[in-house]
Structure 1
Amino acid sequence: RKQEAGKIDPALISAHNRLGLQLHRELTGQAEAGDNVLLSPYSIWTALSIAYNGSAGTTAREMASVFGLKDMPLNEMNEGNAILARLLEGEDSGVRLNIANGIWHQQGVPFKDSFIQAGKESYGAEVQEVDFASDKSVNTINRWISKETEGKIEKMLEQPLSPTTIAVLANAIYFNGSWTDPFNPESTKDEPFTVADGGVRTLPMMHTANMLPYKETPDWQAVRLPYGDGRMDMLVILPAAGSSLDQLEQQLWADPAPWQQPFDEASVQLGLPRFKAEYGSDLNDPLIRLGMKQAFQPDEADFSHMADIRPLFLSKVLHRMVLDVN
């Protein structure tokens, strides 16, 4: 694993994390008060990477700039993404992580062999020809997403696609992690929980007392809850009593370094809500605000490395996530 990880340019990992935080900031800014904001930066990155392989000219340069990888050759980015996927899906007895990519393109539209090859070789994408004028195409894609997410996301596409649709590029991730030290169900009880606006709700709170990786400052407390063999964990950050979620987010967006370092072990008494949350968003505007403009413009977008057809542009970038903590 260390040898494989050593082949990935650290700039690629930094770019992943940076884009995730930038999108989180954008989505939080447009959310209604009290709304949850959930996203999988890795999933978004992967789907956009496939689209990036089909881009050219200014469109490609803008996408590379948003990725934060203006100086990285495309083949190096593809190779790094492929290695990262293999590492993430590596064997861990307590974690199940499936990463799937799909490319559906309109029947009769000749797609570039280089684009299809990159999708298959670097992203393991399933490639299918479909007729987007038929309602069956939506059912086909929704069934694929439902299967790859173990039914957690049953419907990604809510309505028939435009008959002028040329392609749908999709990434689906299913993660199921078993706690290294599970919570005892008998210790779960309804308790008050303070939400971001200061209101209090009664929620089922899970409890444990354990030696865990822990860190605190005057502004926040943070704990890592390991999964399986400890290779992966959930990082939970709690604003201090005198701080707020807004202040914590501002710190996180400005510099995530304090939470990216290993924590020392400490004896922790933890109460964590048991909850399920869902979120869905159109990412067009956030990506445009970050600088990825031309890709969405029918008259300007250049995806000539995907297919020789105009107009060929990104009409929608959709993201959905379901988080179930128990």
Structure 2
Amino acid sequence: MNGTVKTLMAAGVALVLTGCGTEEQETAGDVKTLEIAADVEYGKEDYKKIVNANNELGMELMAEVPADGDGNTFISPLSLYMALSMLYNGAAGETKAEIAEVLNASIPPEEMNKANASLMVMLADNSESVQLDIANSIWLNETYDFQQEFAESNRDYFNAKIEEIDVTDSESSDRINDWVSGRTNGMIDKMVPKPLDPNLVTILLNAIYFKGEWTEPFEEKNTEDRPFRLHNGESVDVPLMTAKRYWDYMETDQFQAAILPYGDREAGMYVFLPKTGSSLEEFEAGLTPENWKSWRQQFDYREGTLSIPKFELEYGVLLNDALKTLGMETAFMDSNLSGMLEGGGGTISEVKQKTALKVDEKGTEAAAATSITVPTEGSAEGPFTMTVDRPFFLAIEDTETRTLLFMGSIADPVSK
């Protein structure tokens, strides 16, 4: 095998949608009941407005994100798409237009919300063999307030849990990280730093967890260490799982491909192997929505022997540069989020994603978390120095009531 296969993660959702953002169970292992409140309106097929757009974003992103030290890349287009869709509700002006460009769907937030709700319902089917879970949350600095429409839209259509936090309290980091860990079955446990940035206004989070058992498991007795050729020509021994049976398979002059189904074929892992003489880079260059659609139609049910690695990996990436390349050119410098916060303010400082993947004889476990961080305006300019060595003004305020208790001008602080 030439290089390391980079896999697009297909993920789904199991959740409770209610008109008032009813609290979800916090354990990823729980299968949740789907309930749609009467006031959450959407069309059954609205999801069709964004499925291709989500897939296109994934393919575009693959061309922009860097590989880790081992040459691996593993992303969740759906996790990023969902997080950006939530942010879309609070954007205005050029920022709104840029987010729409990245989302590959020039539709108003109202239609985007309905499309996401429809997609989540379509993906909400869990079985004994395939578990799909998605969760959204928004964490707000307690000194700020959201615009009512922004909060309601994200509660109603994304079932987003909205929590106020004290950004100066170290336990706030633990609360956020515990939420991510709980929603990803412990696969991702540290999403935000401790302590939080004191300039933080809000963090929008999406978490996805997938666990699928192979339709036909691999037998452990057929797993053995075999050489795996790296992109630099060197080889390492890895455990390869092997099975001879009928697979959905296709082959071209450039690659071989097979589909490994989960459960009752509710999901599948597509594996593409560039042929000797070709390369992973060449395959990626041809990874377009048009080619993907064509390839999916060319699989035949054929008998064969398939060997794939048994492995685990973790991947993390800051997506700012990739998103700038894809169209969000000014959003990280001068965001217009006037539809998000009371009184306006705030700008996007970073969009980050972490993923994890485990593949073994029984099946696949995968998780992703995407965070969008919004600090106060200007905080992204770097550290500052403030030396109070001349006359100054001060005020003492009661935080809860915002009552000014004392104020004054200090021209000479040396007591006489």
TM range (shorter): over 0.9
Moved more, 104-113 or 252-261: 252-261
In the other structure, the counterpart of 2:63 is 25
Equivalent residue for 1:301, pick from 304, 325, 335: 335
> Which has more helix, going by share of residues?
1
Q: Distance in 2 between matches of 1:202 and 1:139?
A: 38
Deviation at 1:308, TM superposition (A): 3.0
CA distance, structure 2, for counterparts of residue 247 and residue 171 of structure 1 = 32
CA-atom RMSD in angstroms = 1.7
Mapped to 2, the partners of 1:95 and 1:261 lie a distance apart of 24
Matched with 2:93 is 57
2:345 aligned counterpart, secondary structure: coil
Deviates further, 122-131 or 249-258: 249-258
Aligned to 1:227: 262
Give the AA of the match of 1:233.
G
Matched residues in 2 for 1:302 and 1:229: separation? 46
Give the gaps of 5 or more residues in structure 2.
Answer: 1-41, 361-416
Question: Structure 2: how far apart are the matches of 1:179 and 1:101?
Answer: 28
Q: Deviations over 1:57-88 (max 9, x none)?
A: 11101110111112x23212111111111222
Residue in 1 that maps onto 2:348: 314
Compare 115-124 and 81-90 and name the one that shifted more.
81-90
Contact 2:68/2:315 (8 A) holds in 1: no
1:5–1:87 Cα contact (<8 Å) kept: no
**C-alpha separation in 2, matches of 1:9 and 1:73:** 14
Q: 1:90 to 1:204 in 2, by over 3 A?
A: same
Q: Tell me by how many angstroms 1:137 deviates.
A: 1.3
Aligned to 2:178: 143
Q: 1:106 aligns with which of 137, 141, 158?
A: 141
Which whole-Å deviations, capped at 9, do the CAs of 1:125-154 have from their partners, x for residues lacking one? 111111112211111100000011111011
Structure-2 separation of matches of 1:271 and 1:239 = 14
- Deviation of the 1:260 alpha carbon: 3.3
> Would the alpha carbon gap of residues 5 and 259 (structure 1) be closer, same or farther in structure 2, given more than 3 Å must change?
farther
Structure 2 match to 1:45? 81
Partner of 2:5: none
Displacement of 1:231 after TM fit?
1.7
Match of 2:325 among 286, 289, 299: 289
Provide the secondary structure at the position in 1 that maps to 2:331: helix
CA distance 1:54–1:281, change in 2 (3 Å): same
* Partner Cα separation in structure 1 for residue 45 and residue 298 of structure 2: 22
Question: Highest Rg: 1 or 2?
Answer: 2
Question: Using the alignment, how far apart are the partners of 1:262 and 1:309 within structure 2?
Answer: 54
TM-score, normalised with respect to structure 1: 0.93
CA–CA distance in structure 2, aligned partners of residues 58 and 10 of structure 1: 26
| SS, match of residue 230 in structure 1 | coil
Q: Percent identity?
A: 37
Q: Does 1:268 align with 2:304?
A: yes
Letter in 2 for 1:322: A
Aligned to 1:16: 54
| Aligned-partner Cα distance in 2 for 1:57–1:35 | 38
CA distance in 2, matches of 1:261, 1:55: 38
Look up the SS of the partner of 1:166 in the other structure.
strand
- Matched positions, count: 318
Residues 34 and 197 in structure 1, CA contact (< 8 A), matched pair in contact too: no
**Structure 2 length as normaliser, TM-score?**
0.73
Distance 2:78 2:286 in 1: 21
